Structure 1
Amino acid sequence: MKQTTYDQLLEAAMNVIRREGFDKASVSRFVKEAGVAQGTFYNYFASKNELVPAIAARILDEQLARMQARGDAETLETLVETMIDVTFTITEEFRDYISFCYSGISMYYSFERWDEIYRPYYDWLESQFSKLQRAGRITTELELKAAVNNTVGLIEHAAEAHYLSRAVTEDRTTAEAELKRMLVRALTI
């Protein structure tokens, strides 16, 4: 599949940011790495700061695509296991950008923008939960939107504690198993 100019610019910017840091990186370095003219950058991004939500969206799009590629889960256990595995893997792969995205979103954008970026993921998970709820595999006592938001937040926190803050000392397999056990119990009570 041919890469679009937007994708070229975003990938180039991510590479430059990873090497130089956001503050030292410049638009001229992004376009040089992408092999496009300086003005081309501004056809896609109003400023360098616009890269923050674009990178966050790229990470979440990749995360959701990997989850969807595994297909609809027939059981809650399978769904939770998929979400945990993919989230831990994405967090490990994109750890250079995740903290940057959090700080950049909070500095330059409202949390409504963050919610826009997460919306496709939340909608997908709500449809998965709804299907499992109709099949009697998730409790009907929970409000689905809250359950979705809390589940995503808990899984991401666990992955970030493991890879970003190193607050967790257990190995990945143990951390994932404990998280899965807790979420399945909470969602089936």
Structure 2
Amino acid sequence: MRTKENKYDQLLDAAMEVIKETGFEKASVSQFVRRAGVAQGTFYLYFSSKKEIVPAIAESILSEQLLRIKKRVKEAEHGEGLLRLLIEETFAVTEEFRDLISFCYAGISLYYSFERWDEIYRPYYEWLMERLNKLQEKGEVTSGMKTEYLANYTIGLIEHGAEAHYLSQAVQTDENEAQEQLYYFVSRAVLL
């Protein structure tokens, strides 16, 4: 996921591994630091308590998703390509991190307000708003909505589609069909 250049990343990676193996309740700070190979006190330089790891994991997963999207964004100069890219990467990240995503939803709703989610998502929303503004100027994206809403709704809908497929399996379809149906729906709302 990340290079282990600093102790924060080492701790975060270790915590994610331990939580995937044992669950959050059974996981301990001692296990995190042992796996990371750092002293116990190092954990408390970055996190005030074990529960502080929850939003850090959510932020890490979302940062990874945005990084992957940005690496491929040249493929998506037009609105259609952008939506397909968002859907593909959201599905890939949701599949890869499904256990941790479920954990993050439960942990943030238990320990934090939904404003914390907005803080975590802010870089993604702002990046997409910028892209949508450019596409609106080119006449490719609906101009009937402010891009701040359009970005928020688009991200939310795409994530819901990926999570419905991998986490709840509410609709039993193969991944390609799920992505195509989601693209069809979102493109009708966003593209001109």
TM-score, structure 1 as length reference: 0.97
C-alpha RMSD of matched pairs (Å): 1.0
1:140 counterpart letter in structure 2: S
Question: Percent identity at matched positions?
Answer: 58
Aligned length: 189
Gapped runs of 5+ residues in structure 2? Answer: none
Q: Assess if the C-alpha contact under 8 Å between 2:29 and 2:40 holds in 1.
A: yes
Deviations 1:118-157 (A, max 9, x none): 0000000000100000000011111211111111111001
Q: Assess if the C-alpha contact under 8 Å between 2:65 and 2:90 holds in 1.
A: yes
Q: Which runs of 4+ in 1 moved over 2 A?
A: none
> Equivalent residue for 2:79?
76
1:62 counterpart letter in structure 2: E
1:121 aligns to 2:124 (yes or no): yes
Q: 1:13 aligns with which of 15, 31, 36?
A: 15
1:155 counterpart letter in structure 2: I
Q: CA deviation at 1:2?
A: 5.1
1:3 counterpart letter in structure 2: E
1:56 counterpart letter in structure 2: A
> Equivalent residue for 1:137?
140
CA distance in 2, matches of 1:139, 1:20: 46
Q: Which deviates the most, 131-140 or 141-150?
A: 141-150
1:35 aligns to 2:37 (yes or no): yes
2:27 counterpart letter in structure 1: A
> Equivalent residue for 2:169?
166
TM-score, structure 2 as length reference: 0.96
